[in-house]
Amino acid sequence: MQLWTGLGNPGRAYSGNRHNIGFMAIEAIARRHGFPPARAKFHGLVTEGMIGGERIMLLAPQTYMNESGRSVGEAARFHKIALQEVSAFHDELDLAPGKLRVKVGGGDAGHNGLRSITAHLGAGYRRVRLGIGHPGDKALVHGFVLSDFAKVETPWVEALCDAIAAHSALLAHGDDAGFQNKIHLAMQAAGFGEAAKA
């Protein structure tokens, strides 16, 4: 079994935040692949299903971002899921809006959710980095990630989440490069090739 976690903050007040794009991505995957409704477990919301013949557990930690690792670590240990079978979907300031990159291991780039997972599990998990852009000034970052996507951004956010869901079998099979490429092509086809220069 693989464990895919979306990172975000729980509660309706945060649901539209840029910081919650990880939640949005795994919700799109669950919808696309007909996963059952999520249930409360491991300090999170959990659902399981099949993608491309692989068993996938989707987890949305309900611990707040900076404690995400408590939820992810508990689920991974309970199901004896190896670190390389864990993927974290998260917002990425250093990528243009609508861009996606996949990497295994590395630093946490100041992301509190990643830092928490690394503290609980180690660094060798897969990160699915979802570009949200940067406000341009480090002092503005906190407010930027904790504010909602603007209405004009909704089309590319939905297109990105839909593309992730549509091509997630490639990720399930470990074809990270193929997955990245398909997302890039899907975003171009949807008119967001220059990923929302806005």
Nearest to 68 by CA among 2, 123, 118: 118
Q: Is 83 exposed, middle or buried (0-12, 13-18, 19+ CB in 10 A)?
A: middle
DSSP conformation class of 85: G
Choose the catalytic residue: 19, 33, 90, 111: 19
pLDDT of residue 71: 98
Using 50, 70 and 90 to split pLDDT, how confident is the model at 9? Answer: very high
pLDDT of residue 196: 42
Using 50, 70 and 90 to split pLDDT, how confident is the model at 109? Answer: confident
pLDDT digits (tens, 9 = 90+) for 56-91: 999 999 999 999 999 999 999 999 999 999 999 999
pTM listed for this prediction: 0.96
pLDDT digits (tens, 9 = 90+) for 28-39: 999 999 999 999
Using 50, 70 and 90 to split pLDDT, how confident is the model at 195? Answer: very low
Tokens representing 147 are 């504010």
What domains can you pick out in the chain, each with its CATH number? 2-189 (3.40.50.1470)
Tokens representing 155 are 């089309």
pLDDT at 194 over 90: no
CA separation for the pair 50, 172 (Å, rounded): 9
Whole-number average pLDDT of the chain: 96
Exposure string over 104-137, b if 16+ CB within 10 A, otherwise e:
eeeebeebbbbbbbbebbeeebbbbbbbbbbbee
Active site residue 43: no
CB of 7 within 8 A of CB of 91? yes
Looking at the chain, the whole-number percentage of residues with pLDDT higher than 70 is 97
